[in-house]
């Protein structure tokens, strides 16, 4: 049980580090998405509010699940459930926060296309023959088209 709490604490510390990194590296005008399920239901917050919301959600999840795992309510649960629930939820929270920070970094890029159909700021301009690909540049393209 102590290992579960320690692992969850390390993942919460990772959320704190990611928030600090984003606070320094993202521009002041960056908008951080707060996911509410489907991508269409993102709520774009200011940098400070978005980073604070992600960190508060992670801290609240850690506190709630640590209390629940240590309480008498969880006494009848399988030991594997008590040991893996907190780290699993914290891992998902950290991954979601990092994804939001990446999206905030991508949203600051310029979406205007040049006369040759290239995206400025991307390596190689992103122009020419475009193979089907997934990744940050494909996400940027979808984001620019939706805007």
The pLDDT value recorded for residue 56 is 95
Q: DSSP assignment of 84-133, as one string?
A: HHHHHHHHHHHHHHHHHHHHHHHHTS-----TTSPPTTSGGGG-SS----
Q: Where are the domains of the chain?
A: 2-108, 111-147
Q: What share of the chain is helix, strand, coil (3-state, %, to 5)?
A: 65, 5, 30
The pLDDT value recorded for residue 58 is 94
Residues 23-51 pLDDT 10s: 999 888 888 888 766 767 778 889 999 99
Residues in the chain with pLDDT values less than 50: 110-119, 125-127, 133
Quick count: other Cβ atoms within 10 Å of Cβ 75? Answer: 8
The pLDDT value recorded for residue 112 is 43
């Amino acid at each position: 049980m102590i290992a579960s709490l320690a692992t969850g604490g390390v993942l919460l510390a990772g959320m704190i580090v990611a928030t600090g990194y984003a606070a320094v590296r993202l521009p002041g005008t960056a908008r951080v998405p707060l996911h509410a399920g489907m991508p269409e239901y993102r709520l774009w917050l200011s940098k400070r509010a978005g980073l604070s919301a992600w960190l508060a959600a992670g801290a609240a999840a850690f506190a709630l699940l640590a209390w629940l795992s240590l309480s008498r309510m969880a006494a009848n649960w399988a030991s594997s459930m008590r040991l893996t629930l907190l780290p699993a939820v914290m891992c998902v929270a950290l991954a979601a926060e990092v994804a939001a920070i990446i999206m905030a970094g991508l949203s600051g890029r310029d979406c205007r296309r040049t006369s040759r159909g290239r995206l400025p700021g991307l390596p190689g301009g992103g122009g020419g023959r475009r193979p089907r690909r997934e990744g940050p540049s494909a996400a940027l393209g979808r984001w620019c088209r939706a805007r």
